Amino acid sequence: MEKERKLILDTETTGLNFYEDRIIEIGIVELIDNVLTQNYFHEYINPEKI
């Protein structure tokens, strides 16, 4: 049987206003058959540079 792979995405923003606020952090983790693996991504973003 094939293993089920999921990627979970999380973002942090400066607020809730779609037009004015910016993403400042992104995180992604991988699950295989609902078990957390060692594969992940994490990045802080400087909204002033975008």
Where residue 50 falls among pLDDT bands split at 50, 70, 90? low
Query: Own/partner pairs for 15-19, CB < 8 Å, 24+ apart?
Result: none
With tokens 């999380």, the residue in question is 10
CA distances from 19 to 8, 30, 44 (A): 25, 30, 20
Rounded-to-integer distance, Cα 10 and Cα 25, Å: 8
Q: What's residue 48's pLDDT?
A: 85
Asked if 32 contacts 38 with a C-beta cutoff of 8 angstroms, the reply is no
Taking the domains of the chain in order of start, what are their residue ranges? 1-34
Query: What is the mean pLDDT of the segment spanning 9-13?
Result: 98
Report the pLDDT value the prediction gives residue 47, as an integer from 0 to 100.
Answer: 84
How do residues 14-42 score in pLDDT, each as one tens digit?
999 999 999 999 999 999 999 999 999 99
